[in-house]
Amino acid sequence: MSEAGASETVDSRMDIHQILDYLPHRYPILLVDRVLNVVPGERISALKNVSMNEPFFPGHYPHHPVMPGVLVIEAMAQTAAILAFKTMGSKPDGKSVYYFVGIDNARFKRPVGPGDQLIIDVALNANKRGIWKFSATAKVDGLVAAEADLICAVRPTP
């Protein structure tokens, strides 16, 4: 690996403090703990550590805790948002909102529960007139838990 390639790998990781600069989400809806790798304009890998302390587990389900599928999709959308902002070379500024506007081909392959580490891979497929299209996969232990095609849009706040 070249020296430039090595620095790209080091610089492409993001800790929670850096993620907070790119996502307006906060507890309890912030669902990305670390970015493992990001290549602006192409792809991103991130992780979500799933803990028994998540606020949804007491009600979903008390005797067999399962992370709601909609929140797995939301974690994918938040990961896609980081990729979009990195691609644009900007951060949220309060003058616009990054909306989740569509989900296609969503499939849930296995449940996600306490103690799982969700690895989220998102690829940028297209960006035209502020509409972003992504392919996303969430895995646990190398096995697909969920996958979907996501459509998002950046729009000025009213």
Point out the residues that are catalytic: 60
Using an 8 Å Cβ cutoff, are 154 and 98 in contact? Answer: yes
| Rounded distance between C-alpha atoms, residue 11 and residue 55, angstroms | 32
In the sheet that holds 34-39, the strands lie side by side as: 34-39, 43-49, 117-128, 131-140, 143-156, 96-108
Write out 77-107 in H/E/C secondary structure: HHHHHHHHHHHHCCCCCCCEEEEEEEEEEEE
Query: Which residues are registered as beta bridge partners of 153?
Result: 99, 131
| Rounded distance between C-alpha atoms, residue 158 and residue 138, angstroms | 33
